[in-house]
Amino acid sequence: MRLTLDDHAAFRQEARAWLAENVPADRAPVDGPASRDFALAWVSRCHQGGWAGLGWPEAYGGRGLPPENIVIWYEEYVRARAPSVLDPTFVALNHAGPTLIALGTEAQKAHHLPLILEGKVLWCQGFSEPGAGSDLASLTTRGEVRGDEIIVTGQKIWTSFADIAEYQELLIRTEPGTSRHKGLSWVICDMRAPGITIRPIRNMAGAAHFAEVFYDEVRIPLSNVVGEVNDGWRVAMSTLGFERKTAAIGTQLDLSVKVEDLIAMAEAAPGSAMAERLADLRAEAAGLRAMTYRTLFRDAATPFDGSLMRLTFAELAQRVAACAMDMLGPEALIDGPWTHDYLEAYSETIAGGTAEIQRNIIAERILGLPRE
Ligand SMILES: Cc1cc2nc3c(=O)[nH]c(=O)nc-3n(C[C@H](O)[C@H](O)[C@H](O)COP(=O)(O)OP(=O)(O)OC[C@H]3O[C@@H](n4cnc5c(N)ncnc54)[C@H](O)[C@@H]3O)c2cc1C
Pairing of strands 167-173, 123-126: parallel
Q: Which of 158, 201, 369, 372 to mutate to test the pocket of ligand 1 (most atoms within 8 A of CB)?
A: 158
The C-alpha atoms of residue 192 and residue 59 are separated, in whole angstroms, by: 29
Residue with the smallest CA separation from ligand 1 atom 38 is 134
Residue with the smallest CA separation from ligand 1 atom 23 is 133
Burial class (CB in 10 A: 0-12, 13-18, 19+), 372: exposed
Average model confidence (pLDDT) for the chain? 94
pLDDT of residue 272: 66
Q: What is the pLDDT of residues 136-180, one digit of tens each?
A: 999 999 999 999 999 999 999 999 999 999 999 999 999 999 999
Reported as a pLDDT band with limits 50, 70 and 90, residue 55 is very high
Q: What is the pLDDT of residues 86-132, one digit of tens each?
A: 899 999 999 999 999 999 999 999 999 999 999 999 999 999 999 99
What element of type H or E holds 167? strand 167-173
- Among the options 243, 284, 344, 348, which is catalytic? 243
pLDDT of residue 357: 96
pLDDT of residue 243: 75
Q: What is the pLDDT of residues 289-327, one digit of tens each?
A: 998 888 888 776 677 888 999 999 999 999 999 999 999
Cβ–ligand 1 distance for 128 under 6 Å, the answer yes
Q: Ligand 1: distance of its center to the CA of 10 in Å?
A: 42
Q: Largest Cα–Cα distance in the chain?
A: 72
- Other CB atoms within 10 A of residue 126 CB: 27
pLDDT of residue 155: 98
Q: In the chain, pLDDT over 70 holds for what percent of residues?
A: 97
User: 22 phi and psi, to 5 degrees?
Assistant: -115, -15
**Among 150, 149, 129, 123, CA closest to 141:** 129
- Read off the pLDDT of each residue in 30-39 and give the average, rounded to a whole number: 96
The C-alpha atoms of residue 46 and residue 48 are separated, in whole angstroms, by: 6
pLDDT of residue 295: 83
Q: In the chain, pLDDT over 90 holds for what percent of residues?
A: 83
pLDDT of residue 296: 82
What length does the chain have? Answer: 372
- Residue 367 clears pLDDT 90, i.e. is over it: yes
pLDDT of residue 305: 83
Q: Which domains does the chain have, with CATH numbers?
A: 5-117 (1.10.540.10), 123-231 (2.40.110.10), 244-366 (1.20.140.10)
Reported as a pLDDT band with limits 50, 70 and 90, residue 6 is confident
Q: What is the pLDDT of residues 250-299, one digit of tens each?
A: 888 999 999 999 999 999 887 667 899 999 999 999 999 998 888 888 77
pLDDT of residue 227: 98
Q: Which of 169, 354, 356, 362 to mutate to test the pocket of ligand 1 (most atoms within 8 A of CB)?
A: 354
What are the residues facing 169 on neighbouring strands?
125, 188
The C-alpha atoms of residue 209 and residue 284 are separated, in whole angstroms, by: 29
- Residue 244 clears pLDDT 70, i.e. is over it: no
pLDDT of residue 1: 56
- Residue 189 clears pLDDT 90, i.e. is over it: yes
- Residue 43 contacts residue 52 (beta carbons within 8 Å): yes
Reported as a pLDDT band with limits 50, 70 and 90, residue 2 is low
- Residue 1 contacts residue 37 (beta carbons within 8 Å): no
Is position 76 annotated as part of the catalytic site?
no
Number of helices and strands (H, E) in the chain?
12, 8
- Residue 176 contacts residue 45 (beta carbons within 8 Å): no
Atom of ligand 1 nearest to the CA of 354: 47
Q: Ligand 1: distance of its center to the CA of 314 in Å?
A: 14
Pairing of strands 184-190, 167-173: antiparallel
